[in-house]
A and B are shown apart, each in its own frame.
Chain A
Amino acid sequence: MAKRQVMFTFPAELIKEPIIYNLGHKFKVVTNIRRADVTENRGWVVLELEGEEADIEQGIAWVTNKGVRVDPVIGDIVEG
C-alpha cells in the first residue's frame, strides 16, 4: 500500500460538492483529512491518501478532472 500527502484547492463552484467522499467511494483510496480551511467561495484541504499506487493515481486524475487543483502538501517544489 502506498501513501500520498496532497493539498486539494477547491474553486468556488465546487465548495459544496462531496468530492472527497466520492473519491473514497469511486476508488479504493482511504482519505484522511489533516487540515482544512473552507469558506463560502474557496477552500483547501490537506489530506493523506492511502491505497494501491494505481488507485491513488486514478483518484487524483479524477479529482483534477473535476476542477480541483492537486499539489504536493509542501507547495511548489521547483524553486528559483
Chain B
Amino acid sequence: MQPVNVCDFCLSPLEVSYDYKTLAKALSREKLAQGPLTMWRYRDMLPVEGKEVDIGAGFTPLVKADNLGRELGLDRLYIKNDCLNPTYSFKDRPVSVAVTKAREFGFGTVACASTGNLAASVAAHAAKANMKAYVFVPSNVEPGKLVGTAIYDPVLVKVDGSYDDVNRLCNRLAERYNWGFININLRPYYAEGSKTLGYEVAEQLGWRAPDCVVAPAASGLLFTRIWKGLDEFSMLGLIEPVNTHMYLAQAAGSSPIVNAFQAGSLHVHPVEPDTIAKSIAIGNPADGYYALMVARQSGGGACAVTDEEAVAGMKLLAQTEGIFAEAVGGVVVGALRKLAASGSIKRNQLTVAFITGAGPKTQEIVADVVRPVTIQPTLESFEEVLSVPA
C-alpha cells in the first residue's frame, strides 16, 4: 500500500480493497464482541498493519430516542451519539486510521484543511503519536473550534482568504511537502475509519441493519462509509442481507447532493456554501457522486434543511433526548422531521439518526436559549418571581 489517493490513469479516487473470503473465515460475532470497547474492535477490517494511534475513538452510545420519536411520529427511533468521541466528533474514527497509516508510511508530519472538527482530531492524534501537525483553517472558523484545536499544540494556520483559496493552497502544499495530508494522500485510509459507524450500529442493534438511516452529508464520505460498513458486515455473514434505506441530510445553503438527487441528475454541480452548519459546508463534495448513488440505490433519499430548521432541530434534540449537538445534528433532526412527516420514513421502521458532532464548540448559534430568571437571594423573592407551589 502507498500514500496515494487517485488513479494515475483516470484521476478517479482510489479505494482500499479487501480479501472478504479470507476475512469471513477469520471473523465471527463472538470474536468481535470480545474486542476493546473502541472502534479498534474492528481492526481486522481496517487497512492497518502497525500499532494503532488510539485515543479511544468509537463504540459510542446508540440510544433509543423515545421522546424525540414521539415528537416526530417514529416508534423505533435510535440516535447514534458520536458527539461522545474524544475530540467530540466522528472525525476521530477516520483520523485514527489515517494517522496510524501516516506513521506506517514513515511520515513525521500530518496535515489537514478543516473548518474545525477534523482539525481538532488531527491535532489530538498527532499529539498522541508524537508527530508534528499542520492544520489549515479558513478565517471564519468559530472561536470555540480554534481553542479545541490549539489545545493540542499543532501549527495552527489561519488562512486569510476565501474557502476556495484554502482549497487551492492546500492542494499546492500537498504537492510540495512530504506530509501525510489526511484528506489528500491519506484519504483512502482515512475514509475507512468512518465505516466503523456502520459496524457499531449493526452490532449494537443485536447484529442487524436498521430499516432506515438518516446521516449528514458534507463530502459524502461518511454517508457512503456507513453504507459500506453495513454492506461489509453482510458480505462477511455477520448480519442478514442489508435492505436499509439511506437518507442523506444537507443544509439548504450547501446542498449540491440534494440538488442533484431532486433533479434526477448524476452530476453534483458545485455550489458556494452559505450556512451556519459549517461542518457540512462543502460546496464541491469529493464523494458527492457516490453518496448520490447510495441514496438512490438503497431506495432512500436526500433532504435539505434551512438554518432556522437546523437550529430548531438542535433545540428539539437537546430538549427531548438531552443531547447537545452542533448545527449538523440540527440538520439531521430537521431532515428526520421532514422525512417522517412526508411518510418517507414510516412510524414502525427501525430508524437510526447519526449525530456526529457536539454543540458546545459552537454554542453561540443557540445563545438565545439563555433567558435566566433573576431573583434576590431570599426565599420570598424566589416564590414571588416564580410562583412555585411548596
Contacts and interface: CB of A to CB of B under 8 A. Distances in A.
B280 A80 contact: yes
Given A9-B269, A42-B267, A71-B284, A78 B167 contact: yes
Contact of B167 (A5, A34, A42, A72): A72
Interface in A56-80: 69, 71-80
Interface centre among B6, B118, B171 (most CB of A within 10 A): B171
A78 B269 contact: no
A76 B285 contact: yes
Contacts of B267: 37, 39, 42, 44
Contacts of A79: 112-115, 118, 183, 218-219, 282
Contacts of A69: 270
Given A71-B167, A74-B5, A80 B115 contact: yes
Contacts of A37: 266-267
A71 B270 contact: yes
Contact of A34 (B10, B112, B218): B10
A76 B115 contact: no
Contacts of B89: 80
B282 A76 contact: yes
A64 B270 CA distance: 14
A5 B10 CA distance: 11
B166 A72 contact: no
Contacts of A42: 267, 269
Interface in B274-288: 278-288
Q: Which of B91, B138, B166, B183: most chain A CB closer than 10 A? A: B183
Contacts of B196: none
A49 to B, nearest CB: 12
Contact of A80 (B166, B218, B286): B218
B21 interface: no
A5 B6 contact: yes
B177 interface: no
B166 A78 contact: yes
A72 B171 contact: yes
B9 A34 contact: yes
A16 interface: no
A73 B6 CA distance: 9
Interface string A6-40: 00010000000000000000000000001101010
B117 interface: yes
B113 to A, nearest CB: 4
B183 to A, nearest CB: 6
Contacts of B183: 77, 79
B348 to A, nearest CB: 33
A80 B114 contact: yes
A80 B270 contact: no
Contact of A35 (B12, B166, B170, B285): B12
A78 B270 contact: no
A55 interface: no
Interface string B163-177: 110111011001100
Contacts of A72: 167-168, 171
Nearest to B218: A80
Given A5-B6, A42-B269, A69-B270, A76 B11 contact: no
Contacts of B9: 34
A80 B280 CA distance: 6
B301 interface: no
A77 B137 CA distance: 11
B144 interface: no
A48 to B, nearest CB: 7
Nearest to A78: B113
B167 A35 contact: no
B76 to A, nearest CB: 29
14 contacts: A34-B11, A44-B267, A48-B11, A71-B167, A75-B282, A76-B286, A77-B174, A78-B114, A80-B115, A80-B118, A80-B279, A80-B282, A80-B328, A80-B357
- 8 shortest interchain CB distances as A-B pairs: A75-B286, A80-B279, A72-B171, A78-B113, A77-B170, A34-B11, A76-B284, A79-B118
Given A5-B6, A79-B112, A80-B281, 5 more contacts: A72-B171, A75-B288, A77-B113, A77-B167, A79-B218
